[in-house]
Structure 1
Amino acid sequence: MMADDSKPREGHFAALILARGGSKGIKLKNIKLLAGQPLISWVLRAAVDSGEFDSVWVSTDHDEIERIAIEWGAKVHRRAAETSRDQSTSIEAVHEFLRFHPEVNFIAQIQCTSPCLHPWHLQGPCRMIRHEGYDSVFAVSRRHLFRWKEVTTRGEVTDPENLNPAKRPRRQDWNGELYENGSFYFATRELLMQGLFQGGKVGYLEMGAEYSVDIDTDIDWPIAEQRVIKFGYFGKTKPQGVQLVVFAADGVLTDNMVHITASGEEFRSYNLSDSIGIQSLLSNGVTVRILSTEESVNHDKYAKQLKVPLVMGCRDKLSVIEQWRSEMGLEWTQIAFMGCDTPDIECLKRAGVSGTPADAQPSVLTASHFISKLNGGRGAVRDFCEYVQLVMEKAKSAVEQEESNTTK
């Protein structure tokens, strides 16, 4: 059905991420950590922050995927066993979702394995569907590759399919070709119920090569991780970035172990690499503070060595940070917090940037945006410090890009 271009289409627009638990290539790929965050979180954050969708859904058959999806702001459709098999197709899963949700008129099926999506990648196709009369819009990327006919029998001769070898073009003289990159497929309900992702008035959004990332096998993972660190979307941040970073002491700066000597003295170990990370934050003008639930001479000496304020015997960390926030005139989006146990959960949920060591409690891992590959007292703090600075750089670049776009 063709829309009237003069007025926007009305109706419920849903984002849908298909994320079943089974994966032959990489076990539980959809929630495996990529750059410190579950893979699915990268596309969920882009979908939620786009502000275009009436609802954001994850279709899954797995409890852990469901839990993480909810933590990252999505609703969950529990997929049936019949649509969760290796042989099940995407269109079958979409049909099942639509049968359970008759209120949905348009769907943006977003690929979980495309972690470099930004909100603007999704805003454009939504406008094309609602305001420009398109029935389907999908993602493409441009490639400058010369194609040759496949040889299937010995002695057969191949032929060029998209070039003249006698006039081989230079890259800069050739526009290349557009290929589906699988990042997303937008379509109307009517089209999808016909078994089609593309049809009617068809359009596309071209994504730059830096954003066109797909993860299928283990070989893709390290490449995708480097790409997402440089080009991924890290969420909405204030132009002034993170101003205050707070660390829980026990289990974050330490390994949560207390060693007692024969004479009754206690000692704890701290990681030199973590200290370097904290000093790096301080040298960049970021305020750093430490909270400890215990009274510890060791913590006190460590904090004084770093020249970082420490509050010990702290049973209500949220109230303390709230007081600091008020005194410094900050919003929670300008605060980063790293914790590891249940008393830290509310702080993690409030903070603009939150992190945990790899060995944190399961409920804490779920509440955090960044999960270090390292344990508490074993470099997790340094890992988080680098992540915080990366987020700050992203915020600065986003502001510069916005200012550049405004002046054009």
Structure 2
Amino acid sequence: MDEHGPLTVAIIPARGGSKQVPRKNLQRVGGLPLVARAVGAAATAAGIDLVVVSTDDDEIATVAAAAGARVVRRPAELSGDTATSESALLHALDELETAGLRVETVAFLQATSPFIPSEALSAAVDEVRADRADSVFSAHETYGFLWREGEERSAEAVNHEADRRPRRQDREPHYLETGAFYVFRAEGFRTHRHRFFGRIRIAAVPEWTAIEIDDAEQLRIARALAHLYESPQPIPVHAVVTDFDGVHTDDTAIIDADGGERVRVSREDGMGVALLRRAGIPLLILSTEVNPVVRARATKLRVPVLHGIDDKETALRDWARENEVALADIAYLGNDVNDLPAMRIVGWPVAVADAHPLVREEARVVLRRRGGDGAVRADRTGVVELTDIGNPVFARRSPSARSQEGGDRTRVGRPEEP
């Protein structure tokens, strides 16, 4: 990035307060906080030189910075319920100008839109930078018949004649603003103090990306959509932590006449664990179960184990700190609601196919295999996929990547074998 040349800057306003959905900008969709998703969408878009998050909140600032954004701290008077997005954008532009940066084009992204299409955003940036438009916004095509309520709640047609019902192919499409992104000239925005001015164009985006999170129901829909539309990608981690029951087993038990329990495990999972160990990825089994079968299986797999643990989040934090592994670099594989506290603090929450619905909603990856059926080995969309060693889904970060992040954080002191 040439800091002295004219820049295209993505600005994401993300304040800490929210009434309908508490801490909304930090809620996870597809396992990632909304603000981190917006940062990632902007960073992936060609033509954007710098990604900035404007916030009044310390936790949002930390998450945004970890995702690769530059953080502008927003004053309290611009962070209340009545503060406009325009005021946050103008403040961020002033702060960047004070820092000596010359912003020519602004891409305004809203973190509450979890599915910002980077290719459409890049095309919108190109429209403005090529001087074909002054303002471009995301919208999806619709052929819907719109109505409004008039006096005494009588229905009135808006974009059509009520007595005519033309076929879809005979109708002119309309475009519904999604709110995901707006791209405009910085100078024109300062002059008009509004996102729409001059030559305005539409950036058409798929309708499924149009969801905007304003309440808890929309958040649940977004979490479901994430697993339907987003393709699994390789998971760069430094450690893998798994639950036991429902992950290594099918979550059932056989009880004999003396009260002893037997569980069913998959030999494929055993091979998956061996392949992970061979790839140099540390593992831990973390379980609330006190039955000796947990330790027996861990011993067989030669994997460290913590079992009989009621507070998985605290245990995981302690283990990560003792072994010098950043939580963001851990994948946690779980199946039930008692796994959620641990899943929410790691960078890669992963769920087996038959996990509880709330677990699947908050997972970054949902496997195709069920617990006890090779989930730890998985397939091409699953956790380990080390049958092709050259392209594992769980992959240790390269030394060069670690050095860029500020040093090697993979010094894992392996506990004594149980």
Structure 1: distance between partners of 2:167 and 2:179: 28
1:137 aligns with 2:136: yes
Distance 1:384 1:84, change over 3 A: closer
Tell me the equivalent position of 1:7. none
1:247 aligns with 2:246: no
Q: Map 1:177-256 to 2 at 5 A.
A: 177-194=174-191, 195-232=193-230, 237=233, 241=234, 247-248=240-241, 252-253=242-243
Residue 358 of structure 1 aligns to a residue whose secondary structure is helix
Task: Give the alignment's Cα RMSD to 1 decimal.
Answer: 4.2
Check the 8 A contact 1:18/1:59 in 2, yes or no: yes
Tell me the equivalent position of 2:45. 50
* Residue identity matched to 2:246: L
Give 1:167 deviation, angstroms.
2.7
Q: Map 1:386-401 to 2 at 5 A.
A: 387=366, 393=381
* Residue identity matched to 2:341: D
Give 1:372 deviation, angstroms.
7.1
Give the TM-score, by structure 1 length. Answer: 0.66
Give 1:85 deviation, angstroms.
1.1
Check the 8 A contact 1:111/1:184 in 2, yes or no: yes
Deviates more, 1:162-171 or 1:200-209: 162-171
Check the 8 A contact 1:144/1:171 in 2, yes or no: yes
Q: Map 1:73-92 to 2 at 5 A.
A: 73-92=68-87
Give 1:140 deviation, angstroms.
0.6
Tell me the equivalent position of 1:291. 283
Give 1:164 deviation, angstroms.
2.7
1:302 aligns with 2:297: yes
Tell me the equivalent position of 1:406. none
Give 1:208 deviation, angstroms.
0.9
**Larger helix fraction of residues:** 1
Give 1:292 deviation, angstroms.
4.6
Structure 1: distance between partners of 2:195 and 2:133: 12
Tell me the equivalent position of 1:261. none
Distance 1:387 1:12, change over 3 A: same
Tell me the equivalent position of 1:359. 341
Tell me the equivalent position of 2:147. 148
Check the 8 A contact 1:108/1:186 in 2, yes or no: yes
Structure 2: distance between partners of 1:179 and 1:280: 52
Check the 8 A contact 1:17/1:109 in 2, yes or no: yes
Tell me the equivalent position of 1:6. none
Structure 2: distance between partners of 1:197 and 1:394: 42
Tell me the equivalent position of 2:413. none
* Residue identity matched to 1:85: G
Structure 2: distance between partners of 1:113 and 1:206: 19
Which of 81, 93, 114 is equivalent to 2:88?
Answer: 93
* Residue identity matched to 1:271: D
Give the TM-score, by structure 2 length. Answer: 0.65
Tell me the equivalent position of 1:114. 113
Structure 2: distance between partners of 1:82 and 1:190: 24
Tell me the equivalent position of 2:246. 272
Structure 1: distance between partners of 2:60 and 2:236: 33
Structure 2: distance between partners of 1:44 and 1:147: 34
Distance 1:197 1:372, change over 3 A: same
Check the 8 A contact 2:31/2:365 in 1, yes or no: no
Give 1:188 deviation, angstroms.
1.2
Tell me the equivalent position of 1:263. none
Give 1:112 deviation, angstroms.
0.6
Distance 1:159 1:78, change over 3 A: same
How many matched pairs? Answer: 324
Tell me the equivalent position of 2:9. 14
Tell me the equivalent position of 2:164. 167
Which of 27, 34, 38 is equivalent to 1:32?
Answer: 27
Structure 2: distance between partners of 1:247 and 1:389: 18
1:368 aligns with 2:363: no
Distance 1:42 1:133, change over 3 A: same
Distance 1:344 1:76, change over 3 A: farther
* Residue identity matched to 2:249: S
Tell me the equivalent position of 1:376. none
Give 1:217 deviation, angstroms.
1.1
Distance 1:96 1:165, change over 3 A: same
Check the 8 A contact 1:118/1:233 in 2, yes or no: no
Give 1:279 deviation, angstroms.
4.9
Check the 8 A contact 1:50/1:119 in 2, yes or no: yes
Give 1:190 deviation, angstroms.
1.0
Check the 8 A contact 1:14/1:56 in 2, yes or no: yes
In the TM superposition, what whole-angstrom CA distance separates every residue of 1:172-220 from its partner, at most 9, and x where no partner exists?
4434311211111111111211212122222221111111111111221
Distance 1:80 1:280, change over 3 A: farther
Give 1:275 deviation, angstroms.
2.8
Give 1:298 deviation, angstroms.
5.9
Check the 8 A contact 1:292/1:310 in 2, yes or no: no
Tell me the equivalent position of 1:324. none
Runs of 5+ in structure 2 lacking a partner? 252-264, 287-291, 306-315, 353-357, 370-378, 386-418
Structure 2: distance between partners of 1:109 and 1:389: 36
Check the 8 A contact 1:14/1:53 in 2, yes or no: yes
Distance 1:292 1:197, change over 3 A: closer
